[in-house]
Structure 1
């Protein structure tokens, strides 16, 4: 088992500059990759088990049935999971793959959280000792070229993570991914589909408040990097569906007028009561939107696997 780490460390100047620029922009933002420190990753695992969070409940059985159809494509391949998290979804997928095929696979989990990579790599090595594992701690938006490409590759991008990007950024990412993919490489992309708005909004405003805690945790991560004095309890979790962009938006709204200070910033960050920090988008797609992403990557859509309600889809794409 190998683990490579390409992520900047806490206090790295490039991270500080990126965060400071986002908090000084108008409107203020924080990149969603900063949700996933150790505590944030634990909270996200809890979110996926919530009653209101429909996508995991649909995606898990869909992963099983899809793996049964695609298992032969994995033979003698490098299995690359982007945004791998706690490895629960890839485990469901691999359970359906025969051992004689698994022993020809090298699995590459890619995630920004090193703790998640180390934990999941150890768990998977115990569960599938016949399979090679090579963990990569990286931001797949910036480090896509770090993923080895000597063998046939089968990319997995589960959980509608691609939907967290703006349409422009998603197209840019798909184009970058398409450039590093070789002929006959495959991508299995998880996509949350357009559906009743009430169902979508409920998933991001759960009754236990775990999504709210997850959202506020990004301020603690900002504190770690920037030495700011954000008090997460002085901000309110806000999540709503933006019809114009067909996406859920998550924000943090200042409860009062505030001044946030840091010994490494030249000036304070000023908030007016009611001012928002935009922390995440989660786009919902149509079939036309899926085809647009595939076209940007230069990939052919081979299959769209969906549940009976067509709430969630796994899209198989191939580089030709």
Structure 2
């Protein structure tokens, strides 16, 4: 029997307006200037990112799906999860491989996606309810950058955090996020994290600066979001898309670099921002990991990695971790 999905909205009505105002005011008055990548993702931004994931240079999505297809039965057997929680679920497309494996294993009772987009959550929840009759689909609208209301459900729970989103945090924010995640787990729960691995800088930069210019258009979409939401007068043509490999931090950094000196006005914030020629606005960082570094980050947060899976080319990893007090 098909049941109707449930969507719980934990965010106040003005959450996005306040968060956008705070992030933009803080980021554009900082030195150097920076904005968080979550503001890429209006409807057009989401469409552009879907195109990015299909580009020949952008191996991350294909590698993660390859690992999931090969090892989802192992993950299901290791966790015996009755509830699958997914953070940043989006359309939940990749998740179906896990849902299939947990369903085949006979344990799954509930799927609990968490995302900031109510529209995308509701659409994905309805589709999954149709595809998996009898599965309890309980979605939560939340901004887990700031808090982590981990959904309840019959245990054990498996919390999936896919797509190498863990790499978008700077070290301090990553530590804080992993600490919140660890604190929200019970001893029988587990977490599945997708992480991109350190490899050739040329390969990494190409993944964020493709030949067709789709990533550049995706990056500049941030300016269009600000123009629409804040009545700003950014000219996307006044900026170049730049992706660089930061060797010391082992991460790819995306920037918008001003082609000439100019001033941008943001009337909704009563703010004017000057850009010098060549000045950059950092829009995303994507950390790449080595196993020892990621192990240390997790262990400091009270999580112990127990299983690692990689694609045949060793480009990407899915790791399973459990609360330290369970694994000893």
TM range (shorter): over 0.9
Q: CA deviation at 1:318?
A: 0.8
**Is 1:178 aligned to residue 179 of structure 2?**
no
**Is 1:191 aligned to residue 164 of structure 2?**
no
Alpha-carbon separation, structure 2, partners of 1:42 and 1:143: 27
Partner of 2:50: 45
Partner of 1:96: 101
**Is 1:126 aligned to residue 130 of structure 2?**
yes
Q: CA deviation at 1:177?
A: 0.7
CA 1:83–1:14 in 2, change beyond 3 Å: closer, same or farther?
Answer: closer
Pairing partner for 1:60 from 57, 60, 65: 65
Partner of 2:292: 288
User: Which residues of structure 2 form unaligned runs of 5+?
Assistant: none
Q: CA deviation at 1:239?
A: 0.6
Q: CA deviation at 1:10?
A: 7.5
Check whether the contact 2:84–2:110 (CA below 8 A) recurs between aligned residues.
Answer: yes
Alpha-carbon separation, structure 2, partners of 1:292 and 1:100: 32
SS of structure 2 residue aligned to 1:47: helix
Per-residue CA deviation, residues 143-172 of structure 1 (Å, 9 max, x unaligned), is: 302533664321001111100111221111
Alpha-carbon separation, structure 1, partners of 2:103 and 2:29: 52
Partner of 2:264: 260
User: Which residues of structure 1 form unaligned runs of 5+?
Assistant: none
Alpha-carbon separation, structure 1, partners of 2:255 and 2:274: 17
Pairing partner for 1:249 from 246, 253, 256: 253
Alpha-carbon separation, structure 2, partners of 1:295 and 1:147: 23
Partner of 1:223: 227
Q: Which is further off, 175-184 or 263-272?
A: 263-272
Q: Which is further off, 214-223 or 188-197?
A: 214-223
Per-residue CA deviation, residues 90-110 of structure 1 (Å, 9 max, x unaligned), is: 0122233335736x4211111
TM norm structure 1: 0.93
CA 1:78–1:28 in 2, change beyond 3 Å: closer, same or farther?
Answer: same
CA 1:126–1:308 in 2, change beyond 3 Å: closer, same or farther?
Answer: same
RMSD of equivalent CA atoms: 2.0
Alpha-carbon separation, structure 1, partners of 2:28 and 2:81: 46
Alpha-carbon separation, structure 1, partners of 2:269 and 2:186: 44
Partner of 1:84: 89
SS of structure 2 residue aligned to 1:268: strand
Partner of 1:317: 321
Q: Which is further off, 93-102 or 258-267?
A: 93-102
Pairing partner for 2:275 from 271, 280, 294: 271
SS of structure 2 residue aligned to 1:4: strand
Q: CA deviation at 1:216?
A: 0.9
Alpha-carbon separation, structure 1, partners of 2:126 and 2:79: 21
**Is 1:16 aligned to residue 21 of structure 2?**
yes
Question: How many pairs does the alignment contain?
Answer: 319
Alpha-carbon separation, structure 2, partners of 1:218 and 1:253: 13
Q: CA deviation at 1:270?
A: 1.0
CA 1:240–1:77 in 2, change beyond 3 Å: closer, same or farther?
Answer: same
Alpha-carbon separation, structure 2, partners of 1:23 and 1:142: 20
CA 1:191–1:94 in 2, change beyond 3 Å: closer, same or farther?
Answer: same
Partner of 1:32: 37
Q: CA deviation at 1:308?
A: 2.4
Alpha-carbon separation, structure 1, partners of 2:84 and 2:264: 44
Alpha-carbon separation, structure 1, partners of 2:24 and 2:53: 27
Alpha-carbon separation, structure 1, partners of 2:306 and 2:116: 30
